[in-house]
Amino acid sequence: MNKQVKVLVIEDDPYICELIILYAEKSGYKVGIANDGMMGLEMFYENPPDLVILDIMLPEMDDWEVCKEIRKFDQTPTIMLTAKGESYDKLKGFDLGADDYLVKPFDPNELMARIKAVLRRTNPMLDANEIIELPMLKIDLQQYKVTYEKQEIVLPPKEMELLYFLSSHPNQVFTRQQLLEKIWGLDFEGNPRTVDVHIKRIREKLGNSNSYWRVKTIRGVGYKFEVDKH
């Protein structure tokens, strides 16, 4: 994982909090705990996490309200915890923007798996391997360094993340819209052609003519990082 993922747990049951801390820290996550909705929102605004775990039955403010407030501010992925299993509660949670839903009592290993799946789906950069090595090319996402033909190449963050994402999915085609959502986020309101501009700059810095790999344009669709399979 290229950086320590921050998880905010908004839950008033101390036993559940301790259980989540134990398993989450073992999985490499940094955990913050809030015991009510108001405290949870304060912690969220002060130090935005990468993922939020919410309990529906919270004192002062239930997690329906917390989820609404978070969605006004950001698209941070959320997993809801509840003792209720009715489909109405699940549908309401998803309508408010929750990414997943887990009914108590739950297996903490399942919660860790859900966290990993949600992070992978919503922000692949958080669940990425640190280094990709190919002939003539090394990408170190942790250090934000690219080495091409043994020379360090300076790439701005978005160019770096775009190159990393494409190269970590070799020979897979992505549309411009998919790349915008993965790298710039779902709430990006700029021109989709910004992807073309970033691809052009990457090619200018790394070239696009070696026999091992290349960033290839798929006309009318998007791009892929083509790797020679031989």
- The predicted-structure confidence for 138-175, as pLDDT tens digits, reads as follows 998 777 789 998 899 888 888 988 999 899 889 999 99
- Position 198 scores a pLDDT of 94
Task: Answer with the residue of higher pLDDT: 73 or 179.
Answer: 179
Q: Give dist(CA 36, CA 102) in Å, integer.
A: 19
- The answer to whether residues 163 and 153 touch, using CB atoms and an 8 Å cutoff, is no
pLDDT category of residue 73 using cuts at 50, 70 and 90: low
Backbone angles phi, psi at 174, to 5 degrees: -125, 140
The arithmetic mean of pLDDT across residues 109-117, rounded, is: 89
DSSP-derived 3-state class of residue 225: strand
pLDDT tens for 126-135 read 555 668 888 9
Q: What does the DSSP 8-state code read for residue 35? A: S
Question: Which of 15-24, 76-85, 140-149, 192-201 shows the highest mean pLDDT?
Answer: 15-24
- Position 1 scores a pLDDT of 43
Q: What percent of the chain has pLDDT over 70?
A: 79
pLDDT at 63 over 60: no
Task: Answer with the residue of higher pLDDT: 197 or 94.
Answer: 197
pLDDT category of residue 2 using cuts at 50, 70 and 90: very low
pLDDT category of residue 230 using cuts at 50, 70 and 90: low
Q: What does the DSSP 8-state code read for residue 221? A: T
pLDDT at 103 over 60: yes
Backbone angles phi, psi at 31, to 5 degrees: -115, 135
The arithmetic mean of pLDDT across residues 171-199, rounded, is: 83
Question: What is the location of CATH 3.40.50.2300 in the chain?
Answer: 6-122
Question: What is the location of CATH 1.10.10.10 in the chain?
Answer: 131-227
DSSP-derived 3-state class of residue 57: coil
Over the chain, what is the mean pLDDT?
Answer: 82
Q: Which long-range contacts (CB under 8 A, 24 or more apart) does 192-200 make?
A: 195/162, 195/222, 195/223, 198/158, 198/159, 198/162, 199/162, 199/223
**CATH number assigned to the domain covering 131-227:** 1.10.10.10
The arithmetic mean of pLDDT across residues 34-49, rounded, is: 87
CATH topology for 6-122 is: Rossmann fold (3.40.50)
Scan for tokens 């959502």, then name that residue.
181
DSSP-derived 3-state class of residue 85: coil
Strand segments (E) across 83-171: 100-103, 131-134, 137-140, 145-148, 151-153
- Position 186 scores a pLDDT of 58
Scan for tokens 């309990």, then name that residue.
55
Backbone angles phi, psi at 8, to 5 degrees: -105, 120
Backbone angles phi, psi at 130, to 5 degrees: -75, -35
pLDDT category of residue 217 using cuts at 50, 70 and 90: very high
Residue 4 tokens read as: 């320590």
Task: Answer with the residue of higher pLDDT: 59 or 68.
Answer: 68
The arithmetic mean of pLDDT across residues 75-96, rounded, is: 66
The arithmetic mean of pLDDT across residues 65-70, rounded, is: 74
- Position 24 scores a pLDDT of 93
